[in-house]
Structure formats: C-alpha cells, structure tokens
Amino acid sequence: MSLPDVAAAHRLELQNFERAILAKQTQIESWFRTQWRHHHAPFYGSVDIRNSGYKLASIDMNLFPGGFNNLNPVFLPLASVAAQDAVERACAEAQSVLMIPENHTRNTFYLQNVYALYSILRHVGLNVRIGTINPEITQITTLETALGDHITLEPVLRQGNRLQLADGFTPCMILLNNDLSGGVPDILQGLEQKLLPPLKAGWTTRRKSTHFHAYNQVAAEFAKLAGIDEWTINPYYEVCSGLDFASHEGENRLADTVERLLQRIQNKYDELGIQDKPFVIVKADAGTYGMGVMSVHSADEVRGLNRKKRNKMAKIKEGLEVSEVIVQEGIYTYETLHGATAEPVVYMMDRFVIGGFYRVHEGRGPDENLNAMGMHFVPLHCNIVSPETEITEEDAASKREFQPWEQLGIVQTENVSQASDCESVRLYVYGVLARLSLLAAAIELENMPEIAV
Amino acid sequence: MSLPDVAAAHRLELQNFERAILAKQTQIESWFRTQWRHHHAPFYGSVDIRNSGYKLASIDMNLFPGGFNNLNPVFLPLASVAAQDAVERACAEAQSVLMIPENHTRNTFYLQNVYALYSILRHVGLNVRIGTINPEITQITTLETALGDHITLEPVLRQGNRLQLADGFTPCMILLNNDLSGGVPDILQGLEQKLLPPLKAGWTTRRKSTHFHAYNQVAAEFAKLAGIDEWTINPYYEVCSGLDFASHEGENRLADTVERLLQRIQNKYDELGIQDKPFVIVKADAGTYGMGVMSVHSADEVRGLNRKKRNKMAKIKEGLEVSEVIVQEGIYTYETLHGATAEPVVYMMDRFVIGGFYRVHEGRGPDENLNAMGMHFVPLHCNIVSPETEITEEDAASKREFQPWEQLGIVQTENVSQASDCESVRLYVYGVLARLSLLAAAIELENMPEIAV
C-alpha cells in the first residue's frame, strides 16, 4: 500500500515528530521492555489513532478487539508467537483454549474475526473450541463466515466453578472476545479457570476515564523520555456524570464542560500558532464501537440537542443507558487516502504490534468519528464490519474500506536525518503510540478491583 | 515458491509421516512449550534437513548460523521479536548489543548475513555495533556487502574483564557470530559480559557426537509422543577417534565402524522393505561448513583413500586437524526442485522458527552432501555463500541456489485426513524436526562444562 497523504500544511510537523521519536528509538524500546517487566500486557488490544501532524494519539483502546481478519495474513506467525507467550503465562501447561465470542451470529464479518482469532491460536498447536453464551444457541451450531470459512459454536455449560462444553472439554484458559457491554452473565462469574481478558476489562465495569487517567501517567513519562511536549500525544479530557439525555438532565453541566475544554484547546492552539478550530468528542464513559459518540464544536451544540441526537447518545450497545460521558479533545485527521479521510488502527497481541490498517471513509470530514454508529465497512479483501451491526447489502455498498498494512513499521534507516516521512517510520510511530495506550490499559487493569462474585 | 517434488516411490511414506505429526500437533506444541520451560533455547541456530520420505532428520545443527540474509524478509518482525526475548533474558535492561562476526572480510555474502543479523537486532530498537577480533583490522572499517549495504567493523578492545570499542561502548551483551573453529581467542576469555552463544558452543570445544547424544534422548521422547518409530527421525551414528588421515593411522578402525553402521542400516532397510543402498557420512566431530565431510558406501572406500580425499578430510576450517570423526547414517534426499536435489535449511531464533530455504544443487546426487567444501551458492535474490570461502566469479557461476520459504509452515487445515502433501504441512514438519535439534542443542550445552579461563 502507499501511505495516506498528510495535508501539506502539517507534513513538516509530522516529520519533526517522527524524527524526534526515531532519535530516541533505542531508549524508547528499552523503556517499553522495562515497563513490561513491571506491568502485564493485556492479552490483546486495538487502538484508533488520530493524526493531525501537530498532534498524534490513540483516542480509544479496545480490550476485546474484533477485526483480526482484517490484518495482513503475513503477520499471522507473529501474532501466534505473541499469543503463545500470553497463553503460557496464563496456564503453563495449556494445550487447549475455550474462546467465548460476542453473541452476534448473523454478522458474518464478526464471525470471520472469530475465525481469524481461532486460527492464530490454532497455529501454535493449541486445541481451540468456540463456546457461546448466547441463550439462543442451545446446540452445536456450525456457521459460515463472510469468506466462506466455517466456525462451530458450542453452548457452554457451568459445572461447579468451571465452564465446559457438552463433551466435558474444560481447559484452564478461557479467551473472551465479548466485551460484556450487557453486563457480566452469571455463568462467567466466579470461575476458577483463567479468564483473559479478566471480567473487569469488560464495559460493565471499565470506564474510558480510568483508562485516560492511566494514560496521563504513561504519556507524561514518555514525553519526558522522548523530549516532546506531552500535549502532542495526549488529548485533554474531562468527565461529566449524572446525565440523562432523554430528559435533558445535566445538559448545562455538560455544556460548561465542553466550553471549558474548548477554551483549553484554543489556548494551546494559540500558544503553538495552530489555525484549526477546536472541537471535542463527547462519548459514553462505558461504551464501545463508536456508539454514543458526538463531535462538538461549541457548547451550544450540546445545549440544543435534538431528539435524534439525544436518542443517539442515550443508549449504546446492548441498550446500556448513558449517564456518564467523557468529553475528550478532538484531534483532526489530516491523513487522506485517495482523497478520503483515513485513520490508522493498530492491533496488538500481548506486548507486540501484530498489524494494523487504515479505516478509510469518503463521506466524513477530518473532525468526525469514522467509527460512528451506522458506519459500515466495505469488504475489501477480508474486512469486517463493526461487530454490533448486522450487515445488509445496503451497508456493504457504503464507502467505508480497510487498507491493511503491508509491514509493521520496522525502522530501516540508520540515519535519523534521512528519515523523511517514509512508510516504515510512520507505521513505527503509530506502533509506539499504540503501545503507550496498551501500557495505560495494563496499569488501568492493575488499579481496578476484581469483580465481586 | 512451489515445493520440491518428492520421488513418487516415497511420496506416500512422506504423507503418512506428515499426517502422523499433524495428528499430534497440539500435544507436540504443548510438549515443546514444556521443554522450553526446562531448557534454555540457544540464541539462534540453523539445521540442515534430509528427507527421503521414509526418514527425515536434521543432520547438522549450527549454533553460529550465517545466511540470515537468505531468509524471506517478511519474517523479519518475527525474528526481531524472538531476538528481543533472548536479549531480554540475557540482560534485562539491555539497550545495546555488540556483535562479533567471523573474521572473513572479503566474503561480501557473509557480510550481507552480518548486515541481516544487525538489522534484526536494530529493529527492536537495540543499539547495535559490530566489533571485530580480526587482527588485520586495526581501525574502524566500513565494508560494502554483496547487495550494496554497508557495515562498519570496529576493532574490539579489552579493558579488564570487559570488551569495548574505542569510544567506550561496552554493552552487557555480546552476540557471537563466530564459531571459534580456530580456538577461543584470549580476548574473549573470562569476560564478565554475557556472551551469546557461550564460548563452549564454539567448535573449539563442541563435538557433533555430544549433540547427537542429546538428540537421542530428544528423539526417543518425541517418537513416543508422536507414536512413530524413532528411527524415522534419528540417524544411527558412531564416533571414531585417534585418527590421522595423513598417515593412514586408524584407517582400519574407521573402516570397521563404517562396516558396522552400514550393516545396521541394511538391517533396518530390510525390516522396512527399503530398496536403497545404505551409505554413511564421515565427518569431523568438531567441524562445520561442510568441510571434512565424506559420503561412503562401503568400508573399502575409507581403506583405500587417495591423497586428495585424505587431504580433504585431514583439515577443516582454520586449519584444524581432524583426529576424531562421527560416522553418521546417510539419509537419501528425495526432494528435487526443477530436477535438482533440494535440501531444506531451517533457521531459528530463540525457540522459534523464523524462516528457511531450500539448498538446491543440480550437479549432486541424492546421497551427497550439498554443503560440501568447494560448493558455492549462486546469488539468487539475497543469497550468501558459505562463510569460510571467498567468493570468486567462477564460484558465482556454479549451479547452487537458494529458494527462500514464503511461509513458515503454519497448519491451515482442521482435518488431518485432508492434509495431503501441501506446502504448509511440509514446512511445519521441517520446523518440528528443526526444533528437536534445537532442543538437543540446549541439552547439549547444559551438559557441557563452562570453558575454563
């Protein structure tokens, strides 16, 4: 692939940033190695990155990523090695893994993701079975994926404090690919088997604000190490709770928060001579998949919310009510691929970057969320849609597409000054940003109490 | 690439073997994981595999592999991750590595290998410098590799019990890519820095027979696990010492050993109904790079050695005298690529297979050593010659070539019975055999005393 273009006005800023990172590559990688001795990397994760040239950051960290089938298959061995490392740490003698995916069964692109994850684990010689906690699936069910592969879902049974399948299969490790937006089902509570990621990583208990609190610590330390202004990698945010979008409850407080944040951003823009108009993203503090997300340019916008927007914000996945939001500094996306806005998405397994792709959308502006509800991915090679949606033919004809990376951002040049904006450097820098978020997630999980059972 | 053909007469035997391995894949990989908790994998290694369909084994294990530049560059990230794991274990906080290659400076293909290794380590953000212990290099010297890359060699200095470069660079880890055939130089003895692989892995002290002794243990355990006859993966061997090829000393004892071994092989061939004529390989017990190697079909052949053959056997790399040989069961190579005999070579970093290629030679028979002295590799893409030789134009025109693997032998099929002789299965099986040798090398090194200083 050729890299997306960066707007000419911001190309130099991006190059300067990349050079700053590259100049400290040895120290950065050594720092990461040290961090991973003190913090356990989550089993897997994906991040969405925004790149305006003058500011780059991952604005979301998903601990139950879908979309593994979207990665370049050439990185499969790397993903397998990383997964093996993680499985070994969880259960030293593990021969088998039970996967528990989301309950979507008609979204064949999500099923393709399940198949990809299954393959990654299979490829290190693990015996992998796919269990389901979907109450509608009461017997062994084989489903066809978007690309014509097949996966077999087996209802999981509870036997004492263990999960098992009908034939008694009860491995010591269970891999969740279900983000628990609808709550933690009884059947998953109090298991003696090792559950990865842990229940507390699910959206029942996880809060974006807790993640970004941990990210503050990581970003500050990293910025010092790399000799950069922390702001260039860390968006401002505030939390606003006690909201009820349906009844306009808390609307003024939200507007005040938006106003305050916009002003802080404007101040920083003024300091750096940035001409852009500040905006913020308002999103559910416990949410995922781009639902309950709004791009806001002025406090008035949240005061005068129409019914449609209020409805959009009021409920997210699995009908969860939104009463707490995070108001996060928006970062312009100045990367375009064939004229369409393009956002990098980076996938990690254990502490390693194992691939990534660009989310490309023709109809969206540089200050809009490309992962918003109603957006679907055009199948391009082996793409998936966002898992909560059931794909329709109409969706499939939309203008969203995925561009998988063909490399992993390995730095090829010795001489930092030669390192102009080449593909390997840009992908490497994304990988650094992604791992900062992964580290923040590790710290976030350490600081969370286990779920009481 | 398309796989080499396997002779029709032996195709079914190979498929049966592959299916047997595949049927136990989960148990095999779990067994390897358990083994690596008890044994430390060498930093890197490469093996030569022979495949007759009815018997497959690696017949040599190199702990200082050249030829990294010969691997498919797509596997570089995997090699880097594996190398990082090994470096971390050696020195938890390592930011830098000092590499010490062989003393060959005119062999630009070997230099290309050094560049490839250097790149693998650089890519995880390690600061890598290349030291040299070549007495002819007394100042910093930049050399061009076969493909036009550049490497800088810096003379290493001894400061107390540490190696350093002129500017004081003295990392905690030193990576040897020098097999110490000429003895352990004083400058490397008694270092407080971590040397990988350890000095005792060099050919000054290492013996092939010790490796195969450890391999016996590994092969027996593996054969039991996989439910196969151990003989199918383990060549017979005997050691013969006190030889002096120049003076015919010990020739009769060698002939007796050869005769005994040929008879054992014939007995096994009779038992299994194999029509081939047994042969053995006579090779220096402390040797490498295919020097001091002879293919023998009858005891008479070693009795009547002419001057040329005696000279060939008498000395190996760096003029080392051969007084001890290993007589090893020969395995026919029934793989051909475009009509030429093809032998798989597998590369490993830490405990992972990171690539491989086929060594292809048109002029050789199925019972000859394709890595023999005087054989050179035709540069094909990014090939290297064997490191001890200085390449000439004449050499470059010979008919040796390398065919790098395009995948790592990841098993794609669920159903073992569907697993006909497809590429991924064959490469996976090679990778299993290679890791058996790697495990044997780990045990071999554990059992060796450290070098006294």
- B16-52 confidence digits (pLDDT tens): 999 999 889 889 998 999 999 899 999 999 999 999 9
For the segment B388-416, the average pLDDT, to the nearest whole number, is 51
Query: pLDDT tens for residues A50-105?
Result: 999 999 999 999 999 999 988 888 788 889 889 988 898 888 888 899 999 999 87
> d(Cα A116, Cα A349) in Å, to the nearest integer?
13
Provide the shortest C-alpha distance from residue A352 to chain B (in Å).
Answer: 8
**B451 vs A282 pLDDT, higher one:** A282
Q: In the block, which residue shows the tokens 């008919």? A: B399
Phi and psi dihedrals of B5, rounded to 5?
A: -75, 150
For the record, the structure tokens of B159 come out as: 């400061």
First to last CA, chain B: 48
Task: Quote the pLDDT of residue A304.
Answer: 76
Task: Quote the pLDDT of residue B322.
Answer: 78
Nearest to A279 by CA among A108, A55, A78: A55
**Strand pairing class (A127-132; A150-155):** parallel
CA angle A285, A287, A292 (to 5 degrees): 90
Task: Quote the pLDDT of residue B136.
Answer: 93
**Strand pairing class (A157-159; B293-296):** unpaired
Nearest to B156 by CA among B148, B147, B146, B166: B166
Q: Would the CB atoms of A26 and B411 count as touching at under 8 Å? A: no
Q: Would the CB atoms of B33 and A82 count as touching at under 8 Å? A: no
Query: pLDDT tens for residues A2-49?
Result: 788 888 888 899 999 999 998 898 899 989 999 998 999 999 999 999
Q: Would the CB atoms of A410 and B74 count as touching at under 8 Å? A: no
Instruction: Please report the DSSP string for A24-86 in residue order.
Output: THHHHHHHHHHHHHHSPPPSEEEEEEEE-SS-EEEEEEESS---GGGS-GGGHHHHHHHHHHH
Q: What's the burial of B165, exposed, middle or buried (CB within 10 Å: 0-12/13-18/19+)?
A: middle
Contact B402, B375 (CB under 8 A): no
Q: Is the pLDDT at B416 greater than 70, yes or no?
A: no
Helices (H) and strands (E) counted in chain B, each on its own, are: 10, 19
CB atoms within 10 A of CB A38: 10
Q: Is the pLDDT at B250 greater than 80, yes or no?
A: yes
Give the model's confidence band at A380: pLDDT under 50 very low, under 70 low, under 90 confident, else very high: very low
Q: Is the pLDDT at A195 greater than 60, yes or no?
A: yes
Percent of chain A whose pLDDT exceeds 90? 53
Give the model's confidence band at B307: pLDDT under 50 very low, under 70 low, under 90 confident, else very high: confident
**DSSP secondary structure letter of residue A401:** E
Contact B107, B387 (CB under 8 A): yes
Q: Is the pLDDT at A395 greater than 50, yes or no?
A: no
Contacts of B173 in chain A (CB under 8 A): none
Q: Is the pLDDT at A368 greater than 70, yes or no?
A: no
Instruction: Please report the DSSP string for B235-302 in residue order.
Output: --EEEE-S-BGGGTBTHHHHHHHHHHHHHHHHHHHHHHT--SPP-EEEEETT--TT-SEEEESSHHHH
Out of A100-109, A154-163, A335-344, B408-417, least confident range: B408-417
Q: In the block, which residue shows the tokens 């990665």? A: A71
Q: Would the CB atoms of A84 and B33 count as touching at under 8 Å? A: yes
The one-letter code for the residue type at A373 is M
Q: Would the CB atoms of A125 and B93 count as touching at under 8 Å? A: no
Size of interface A-B (CB pairs under 8 A): 80
Contacts of B124 in chain A (CB under 8 A): 29
For the record, the structure tokens of A420 come out as: 């102009």
Say which of A78, A126, A414 has its CB closest to residue B81: A78
Query: pLDDT tens for residues B140-158?
Result: 999 999 889 999 999 999 9
Q: Would the CB atoms of B93 and A33 count as touching at under 8 Å? A: yes
Q: Would the CB atoms of B125 and A81 count as touching at under 8 Å? A: no
User: What does the radius of gyration of chain A's CA atoms come to, in whole angstroms?
Assistant: 21
Out of A335-344, B313-322, B391-400, least confident range: B391-400
Query: pLDDT tens for residues B425-436?
Result: 898 999 999 999
The answer for B333, left when phi > 0, alpha when psi is -120 to 50, beta otherwise, is beta
Query: pLDDT tens for residues A398-418?
Result: 445 666 776 666 555 454 444
Helix axes B8-23, B25-38, angle to 10 degrees: 70
Helix (H, G, I), strand (E, B) or coil at B336: strand
Report the residue of A33, A222, A351 to disrupt the B interface, i.e. the one with the largest count of B CBs within 10 Å: A33
Q: Would the CB atoms of B123 and A26 count as touching at under 8 Å? A: no
Task: Quote the pLDDT of residue B390.
Answer: 36
For the segment A367-387, the average pLDDT, to the nearest whole number, is 40
Percent of chain B whose pLDDT exceeds 90? 53
The one-letter code for the residue type at A80 is S
Helix (H, G, I), strand (E, B) or coil at B54: coil
Helix (H, G, I), strand (E, B) or coil at B119: helix
Q: Which chain B residue's Cα is nearest to A94?
A: B30
For the segment B223-239, the average pLDDT, to the nearest whole number, is 97
For the segment A378-396, the average pLDDT, to the nearest whole number, is 35
pTM: 0.83
Give the model's confidence band at B192: pLDDT under 50 very low, under 70 low, under 90 confident, else very high: very high
Phi and psi dihedrals of A135, rounded to 5?
A: -65, -20
Question: pLDDT averaged over chain B?
Answer: 85
Contacts of A352 in chain B (CB under 8 A): 81
Contact B398, B389 (CB under 8 A): no
